[in-house]
Structure 1
Amino acid sequence: MGDLGRLLKESWSLVEEHQDKVAGYFYARLFLSHPDLRELFPVHMDVQRSRLLGAIVTAVQTLEDPEKFDEYLRSLGRDHRKFHVEPEHYEVVGGALIEAMREYAGEQWSVEYDQAWADAYAVIASKMIQGAEADSNPPYWYAEVVAHERRAKDIAVFTVQPMQPLEFRAGQYVSVECPRIQPRLWRTYSVANAPRRDNTLEFHVRSIGAGWVSSALVRRLEVGDMIRLAAPMGTMNLDRRSTRDTVFVAGGTGLAPIKSLLEELTRYNRTRWVHLFFGARNREDLYDLAELNRLAARYPWLSVVTACSDDPTFPGEQGNISEVVARYGPWSEHDFFVSGSGPMVKDTLKTLAELQVPSIRIKYDSFTDF
């Protein structure tokens, strides 16, 4: 690790346990010094605070991987166009961020740490600005809801029609805002289909507790509503050059990007066996099982295994989906795609490591709905 990476990680360790306070201080300084910036952010800042810190940690952790670091920040810059961020805002944000960390690191903070973060942030800002400036697309797309169906008590599947074409790759995700119900609140959701001729996009959403956006999308969104979609992000894509058989592991609405990749495979696959493991708490949460069974009946190369972790009467597999995957195999020669909640993805990655599946053959997407 270079000196810059070492200094960044050392200094971050000083404030890591105070992340919420650091974020709160950062936003307080930002809005006090530049009140005009407040209108760029959502009314409810609880999730926004954690996302800021998440972006910082990701940037720091990928600093030693130039290619990944570059693409992540350029994508982040493109995505932030939806907030109407201008180049001059970056300097203001950087100053408030370093001041917040200095405040909570206390006496252990050093001039070297200050300079390291200034240097790193300059690179981060530069790449984000470059990503934004290189994007010829609009900051966001308006899309009309053309279908909305409740598949379970807290799960909805809906389809939107963008007002102009939105290019994306199977497996990617977009930020979604519903201006009528929750203006200025954006949440990321995977597109559940591969690109289609009619340009429609399908989304699978679970309402989590009192989630501001997920609850609105499940319970209040209606056909005819207009939503906004930001630039596609994510690299959980198929490699058409690979000849290895494929395993998809999906938990709950983590099925969405898996469904997108599966739809892409139906258009060209003739030689690869595909195994789909779909897990949920109970049978009601296996909300798209009828469609998966239809696909398996139509395409001989596809097999579907379902499991419930909290439904003893379910006739299929029992247990967490990672445990179920371990009962099958061997898997060491397969490509893996994993999508679901944070704990589900973590458990599955641990299981695959124990099964000696090379990490280079695993792509995953971990998400949390709010």
Structure 2
Amino acid sequence: MRRTRSEVSLADAMEDGFRPAAPPAWMRWLPFAYVAFVLLLEVTLQEEWAVSFFLIALPAIAAYAFGPAVVAALTVFAILLEGALAAVSHHLGENHHVTADIATAVVGILSTALAAHRTRQERNLVHANSVAEALMRALLRPVPHQVGHVLAASLYRPSEAGTMVGGDLFDIRATRAGERAIVGDVRGKGLPAVRTVAAILGSFREAAYEAQDLPAVAARLERRLAREAEEIPDEELFATAVLIEYDSRAHRVTVTNHGHVEPVLISRGEVRMLEGPPALPLGLGSLAAADGPVAWSHRLTRGDVLLLVTDGLVEARDTRGDFYPLVDRLRHRFEGRAAPGPADVVNFLNTDLPRHTRNLHDDIAMLAIAPHSHG
């Protein structure tokens, strides 16, 4: 089955995280450039200098980028080169040159041990990261091109480069009540947030099929998050989320918003945020005076696209500190034009956001849906 561009970006980003980052090229070339520099000094200096003593630092320089075998080999090379330079100047047997050789050997042994330790730490880090990413792979599954009566596209971008571990979440399920979806953001980042993400998604994937309506789904998530807060324990545990349910027969989408970014509707060449009755974030429902969230509805017909995002997108800043103008950028791209598909919207944001900001300070998740033409 062919994957959409948004599905490819999610899968490829997950696979990329399993590979450790290689040292920069300049760091790998530095030991050899250092040797060339020492030889250049040996040739150009007019007075007699013990230039070979600079080679004592070579093993330590190599330990930053190479493994223990290469560091050990460069240590032997440094000692031999020191001897060759000393022989050229007829000082091979002098005490200070012998002392330099011994010092190089000591530095080489320590640097080899350091390189071995660094290599082990890298392997352990990659293993731990791989386990966490395998969990995220199971949790944040790429959304199929079609789910029930809607077309869909999704994207996830973590704030921490080289890892898929984060606190944002999304999912969509085709149920008898309609297509139900969630996009949310757990308080916190990294590994501590993964457990909460797993709890919310696991509860949603059950409640989406069993609960009578969206407020009932939200109530199930609220209870699950309350139990999670007791087990951790964390009295301040919460998650913002927006829940939707699409009714293909009524051409209507129902929404409950729990302190989350408002959904964005692209309809008939217009782009606007859909605002409705707010509710407290999941996990803080006990503080509400009313009896739970209020669901509200809006028409969603063929040619419309509904976009759900996390605050990492709208709060991404440029070099001047300005937030990413989500609605303005969508209007600039899609207003007054032919109806886009969900993948068009997600792919546009995926390429447009890096032009606004280079460094992400929060995870980003988005889910776009559109009624299927046969829905």
Structure number with larger C-alpha Rg = 2
- Specify the TM-score bucket, using the shorter chain as the normaliser: under 0.3
TM-score, normalising length: structure 1: 0.23
Work out which structure has the larger RCO, using CA pairs closer than 8 Å and 6 or more positions apart in sequence: 2
